[in-house]
Amino acid sequence: MIFLENEYIKASLSTKGAELQNLTSKETGKEYLWNGNPDYWGKFSPILFPIVGALKDNTYYYGDKEYKLPRHGFARDNEFSLELISHTEALFTLTQNEETLKVYPFNFTLQLHYKIIGTSLFCTYIVLNPDDKDLLFSVGGHPAFSASTNEHIDYDDYFLEFNKDESLIYHKLNGDLIDDETDIISLSNHSLPLTHNLFYKDALVFKTLKSDRISLKNHKDSHGLHFNFKNFPFFGIWAAKDADFVCLEPWCGIADGINHNQNLKDKEGIITLPPKGKSERIWSIECF
């Protein structure tokens, strides 16, 4: 485990998946991340790479060959190397290996850079193409935030506040794939109340979200967080059934649509990075 700390917050990270696992206020002791209870969902904040979501039949085609990848790809299950560490920042790196090349025929460098400044933690996804051919990939985040309950606070006391949206158009899921059918959730004062049954049919998937900040708050105390993100064209909101957390998921990429032809080059949201190119995306958590 790797530990980052300043006078306001402290965080812990694992080299497996370069995963953020704790984010705590030093003043109040409040834990902002989900506790990873495996009875519901045994992860904390996995990295999604080189795909986001599921492939149709877990299969894609590239260069006239068939490949298999599980939902959200393989990076979250791989050990990253730690290349930089100080009291307040760490850099993790994953590159291709013999096993990844069997399922994903690309050379790549994936880096996660974490840094804490004040009461905020910043996570930057960096993808580098070391090769002389295009690199095709998607990348995204899956951080799970605690909506813990006690004798004073119920899950239904929590809500999400969107800084720009007044209503939410979401795509329904057909199994693990994106359906063409959409539905609308009207917001009151830009706010979406959290209820467990909101996620009984799986995640809410957005392609047209206007907001670049979503705040998790509750009606019983003044503590919460601002989740800031930019340049992520897709977004997901999810929780495991009856679990006391909510995932806020910024994505550059999305699960296959039900009518997708399974060609990687035609996949919605796929990023084509030219030789020696670099892609960078960042999200942050501001604790209060």
Name the DSSP class of 31. Answer: B
Sorted by where each starts, the structural domains of the chain and their CATH numbers stand as 2-287 (2.70.98.10)
Fill in the amino acid letter for 207.
Answer: K
Answer yes or no: are the C-beta atoms of 165 and 187 closer than 8 Å. yes
Token look-up 């939410």 returns: 168
Residue 282 pairs in a beta bridge with 124
Residue 6 main-chain phi, psi, to 5 deg: -135, -160
pLDDT exceeding 70 applies to what percent of the chain? 100
CA 148 to chain centre: 20
pLDDT in tens, 131-188: 999 999 999 999 999 999 988 999 999 999 999 999 999 999 999 999 999 999 999 9
Query: What is the helix (H) or strand (E) element at residue 52, kind and residue range?
Result: none
Residue 220: its pLDDT value, please? 94
Q: How far apart are CA 66 and CA 47, in angstroms?
A: 24
Residue 84 has pLDDT above 90, yes or no: no
Task: Please compute the mean of the pLDDT values over residues 78-86 and round it to a whole number.
Answer: 92
The secondary structure of residue 274, as a DSSP letter, is: P
For 196-255, write each residue's pLDDT tens digit. 999 999 999 999 999 999 999 999 999 999 999 999 999 999 999 999 999 999 999 999
pTM (two decimals): 0.96
Chain segment 25-37, per-residue pLDDT in tens: 999 999 999 999 9
- Asked if 61 and 262 count as a contact pair (C-beta separation under 8 A), the reply is yes
pLDDT in tens, 119-133: 999 999 999 999 999
Is the pLDDT at 85 greater than 90? The verdict is: no
Spell out the residues 6+ positions from residue 177 whose beta carbon is closer than 8 angstroms to its own: 54, 56, 255, 256, 257, 258, 260
Mean pLDDT across 250-275: 97
Tracing tokens 């296959």 back to the chain, one arrives at 256
